[in-house]
Amino acid sequence: MTSGGDTGLAGLAETLRHFAEERDWQQFHTPKNLAMALAGEVGELLAEFQWLTPDESARVMTDPEHGARVRAELGDVVIYLTRLADLLGVDLVEAATDKLAEAARRYPAETARGTATRARHA
């Protein structure tokens, strides 16, 4: 499906808003609760990788069943992240772009090459 790519995050946010309204779930969707739900889904994503070696994790999508579970967990993460950002009025790509610009200043390419402590920060 390309519709996802076409509408992007803004379209997804609108769909999620409608989805919650239809079910009268806005009452549960406070930023606090949605941050918890996001963390819960990220925990399920971690569980898909926890016993894999780094190399195995790089090949996880070649296993159809495991790959489908990883993709589904990523979908859940995006759902709660997008819903949370919509409620907060934050543009996720802009927020990421600003953080990346900050990281670029802190870790110039020429000095940060191949150092894990740096890798943490972007």
CA distance 4 to 98: 24
Give the number of other Cβ atoms within 10 Å of residue 122's Cβ.
Answer: 12
93 binds its own copies (CB under 8 A): yes
* Site map (CB under 8 A) of its own copies, residues 51-80, x = contact: xxxxx-xx-xx-----x--xxx-xxxxxx-
Helices (H), 1-122: 3-22, 31-49, 54-58, 64-88, 92-106, 109-112, 116-119
Least spacing, CB of residue 64 vs its own copies, in Å: 13
CA distance 6 to 106: 34
Which residue number, 11 or 64, has a Cβ lying nearer to its own copies? 11
Per CB under 8 A, which of residues 4..43 are in contact with its own copies? 4-5, 7-12, 15-16, 19-20, 22-25, 27-33, 35-43
120 binds its own copies (CB under 8 A): yes
